[in-house]
Amino acid sequence: MQKELLERIEQVLRERVRPSMGEHQGDIEIVDVSDGVLKVRFLGKCSNCPSASLTLESIVAEAVKEEVPEIRDVVLVTGVSDETWDMARSILAKKRAERGKQ
C-alpha cells in the first residue's frame, strides 16, 4: 500500500508540480508520508523562496489532494537536506586532507 501511494504521489509531482517548479530552477522531494500527511522539501531555487508557502498550497497541495485523496495535508519541511549535508561533509573532509598534506 505504501509503495503504491508513493508511486501515485510521485506521478502527480512529476506531471503536475515539477514542470512549474522547474521553470524557476527548483524541484521537490518527498520527505515522508504517514497518517495522510505528505511532508515535502523544496530544492534548488525554490528552497528559500519567499513564495514557498503559496507554492505549497496553490500548486503542490492542490494537485496532490486532488489526485491522491488519501492525502489530507501537505507540509513543507525546511532546513538543510541530507544531500546538502553530505556535500558539506565531503568538502570539509577534502579540506582536512589537504591541510594534513601540508
Distance CA 15, CA 7 (A): 12
Which domain CATH number covers 81? 3.30.300.130
Quickly count: other Cβ atoms within 10 Å of residue 31's Cβ.
14
Residue 27 near residue 21 (C-beta atoms within 8 A) = yes
Start-end of H helices in 13-81: 18-22, 52-55, 62-67
Domain that holds residue 54: 2-101
pLDDT at position 45 is 87
Total domains in the fold of the chain: 1
Instruction: Give 24-58 pLDDT, tens digit per residue.
Output: 999 999 999 999 999 999 998 888 788 888 899 99
- Torsion angles phi and psi, residue 20, rounded to 5: -65, -45
Distance CA 62, CA 60 (A): 6
Instruction: Give 50-83 pLDDT, tens digit per residue.
Output: 888 889 999 999 999 999 999 999 999 987 666 7
